[in-house]
A and B are shown apart, each in its own frame.
Chain A
Amino acid sequence: MIPEPNFGWTGSVGDVVLGATRSDGGTRSRSYRIGGGTTLPFMEKGGTFPSPLVVFEICDDPRYWSPIVNDFCGDLVHDPAAWAKTAETTYGADLVRLCLTSTRQRDFSDIPSLGKTTDAVLASTSLPLIIEGSNEPKIDSEVFQKCGEAGQGEHLLLGTAEAGRYRSIAAAALAYNHAIIAQSPIDINLAKQLNILLKEIGVPRDHIVIDPYTGALGYGFEYSYSAMERIRFSALKGDADLAMPMICAPSDSLSIKEVREADAGTRNAIAVEWEFTTSLAAAIAGAEIVCVRHPDTVRRLKAAFGALNTRTGGA
């Protein structure tokens, strides 16, 4: 008799909760508990385990967004609230990630508008929300303070903390009880270091999601794939400083040469294929949340995750 696989793991991935329902003091229609894995992805005993979550990313200034998505989504891209609603009802996303691209304008200073946009998106969708702050360290403090406050009680996921740039976001997360994304440049040791820095300033482990950074397929994805496998492996081997769920955002996929230079007839298909392939492989390597920007990628990923999560027999 062939034995079922046994890898001798001693640890497991810790839990992080995203979103808060009414009973938890928020207004979301659902919340997710991610993490909890005790073996390699999709290998859990019994085979019933939550599928990875599929996030649809939107922005508040489409000038800084992929023209492919802007063309595909049409007028929605000028109305984050309506776009978020569509992500929930039409695209079938599990979460929405609001990227505050308006902050990329030169000398951006309209902080109050960010709070208003956050409020509007929270009102239009009942999905848990990820908020991606500015590109500009100088305004981090105000931006995260404003968004954190607007989402108080909703248990948001705030992005993105990096080594050398994590204090403002951590302060907002601690003040308003949100979780944060901790990103490191495709390096398991730097990922661990950042988690330790966050721990030292008081961010609890169950409020951290690791982003090992996702290089696009063909542009370094193999490094990200292995970084994710190694982080998962370390968590299962008992390294508590790496035992957090992971997020993968292959957002570079839409700006690579293959997609940019594709002719009009195949551009959408290549964009979707690139997001899909990268996200699927990342989930197999250990990502519990994957973020995409093309609406057509969402359903394909959800179906594939469902199929990966279904077993009709053992080994």
Chain B
Amino acid sequence: MPLKALDIYKLLPKKNCKECGDPTCLTFAMKLAAGKADLDLCPYLDDNAKSVLGATTRPPIKLVKLGVGERSFAVGEEFVLYRHDKTFYHPPGIMFAVFDTQSEEEIAAVTARVRDETLTRVGADLKFSGTAIVNTSGTVEAYTKAVAAVEKTAGLPEVLVTENPAALAAALVQCGSYRPLICAATPENYRQMCALAKQYGCRLVVRAPTLDGLARLTKDCAAEGVQNLVLDLEPKTLGDFLYRSTALRQLTITRAVPDLGFPVYLDAMAFDDEDAAIALGIVKYASVIVTKPLAPASAKAALTLRQNIYTDPQKPIQMNPGLYRVGTPGKDAPVLMTVNFSLTYFTLQGYLESTRIPCFMLIVDTEGLSVLTSVAAGKLNEMLVRDAIKKFGVENEVSHRKLIIPGYAAPLSGRIEEATGWKVLVGPRDAAEIGEFLVQEWKP
């Protein structure tokens, strides 16, 4: 059971020395209780306090950092089964595989793509996370060359996929200090893998087809001195992954099996439909996903799904109310009023852009509610519209006095006309029909 802040405080030195970065031992205790601070930050803990607190104040899933520098990323430290319960904090790294049977040019091209490719959506730059270098040849020489080709091209996070300790040792000579993820330790080879991981301070994937087996293996690795682990559930089907990954998340967030408190690895290449495996991994708790380089459509969908699922669901997504321009509208351009729910805004904006008719969007403050909901709740009303027209100076921008309102706001049309003196045109309910509507109905 997790300890309360006051129980933790009793075990702290109570010196208020500030060396942990917190002003007092009590505030540090509160952070520990919330899983937001690391016990090691306190230099004065006695052994008893360490052993009592160690097990209960760690985040239920360990934070594991991959790579160094600008593109490094951290996974783990998640707390919930459902994103709506809080949020998912650390989006999975999606790693493109290169194989040491490919030419140096091919390997460099994939690496450069991961380095450069960017999808910009809703103000964020979305990128793939790194490369996974696979020892398909089984030889040391080819593997060393492949790792060199990747290293020469970019300083991205890497997964070293090989079961051959000699090949791994040779690869680590080149990239061992850049925090790569070694894949994978099994019950058979874990001693050798742990020795290398420890020597270079690497992260290590451990692989077993049951949670029992994984719990044993993480204990064995800890005994060898390797703590930064990632779990490969070794699923044979999508159903295996979903079942085991969900079971694992449930067991770890309740701290039922502390030995399993690590992020999850998913090799999407093991499945017939890689895109399906990636989507499943994103929604169901994978933290490192390895895939072949994706075709453009699959790449866009994967990055978009990851962005969607890892958006904070508690933050109402709102636009700032105001007058927005689509194209360069003139004095006789149409004015379309809608709510400040960002989804509504972006959807309507997208359709307006594709009509190529320059226009104004008047975004009123419904506190992020959709049209339907804000009409039902009375948030969207004639006063709000009247005030927005005044506040945002719409009368100076256009010479006409006509306002297009959303189809679902039709019940308000009479009252908006009375309150504003503008003529109201009721637009379609579905933003997809706005182009046709403007062509047929709009005259300044």
- A: residues with CB less than 8 A from B are 1-5, 7, 40, 42-43, 47, 135, 163, 185-187, 190, 215, 217-223, 225-226, 229-230, 233, 252, 255-258, 260-261, 266, 269-270, 272-274, 276-277, 280-281, 284-285, 300, 303-304, 307-315
Contact = CB atoms under 8 A, between A and B. Distances in A.
Contacts of B343: 215, 219-220, 223
Contact of A308 (B210, B280, B350): B280
Interface residues on B, range: 35 or more
Contacts of B302: 277
B373 A303 contact: no
B295 A269 contact: yes
Given A226-B82, A307-B238, A313-B209, 6 more contacts: A47-B243, A221-B308, A222-B313, A255-B351, A277-B302, A303-B272
Given A2-B211, A229-B84, A308 B238 contact: yes
Query: Chain B binding site: helix, strand, loop or mixed by DSSP?
Result: helix
A313 B298 contact: no
A307 B353 CA distance: 40
Interface stretch (B56-64, B110-118, B244-252, B327-335): B244-252
A163 B370 CA distance: 15
Contact of B354 (A43, A260, A276): A260
Contacts of A7: 250
Contacts of A312: 236-237, 240
Interface of B: 82-84, 121-122, 209-212, 215, 236-240, 242-244, 246-248, 250-251, 256-257, 260, 271-273, 275-276, 279-280, 282-284, 295-298, 300-302, 304-305, 307-309, 311, 313, 343, 346-347, 350-351, 353-354, 370, 372-373, 376, 429-430, 432
Contacts of A284: 242, 280, 283-284
A128 to B, nearest CB: 26
Contacts, number: 165
A7 B242 CA distance: 15
Contact of A217 (B250, B257, B305): B305
A44 B209 CA distance: 19
B239 A256 contact: no
Nearest to A270: B297
Contacts of A258: 300
26 contacts: A2-B260, A3-B251, A5-B246, A5-B247, A43-B242, A163-B376, A186-B370, A217-B304, A221-B305, A222-B309, A222-B313, A255-B351, A255-B432, A257-B350, A260-B354, A269-B297, A270-B296, A273-B275, A273-B300, A274-B301, A276-B275, A276-B276, A285-B283, A308-B238, A310-B240, A313-B209
Contacts of B84: 226, 229-230
B275 A277 contact: yes
Contacts of B351: 255
Nearest to B312: A222
Contact of B347 (A2, A4, A185, A219): A219
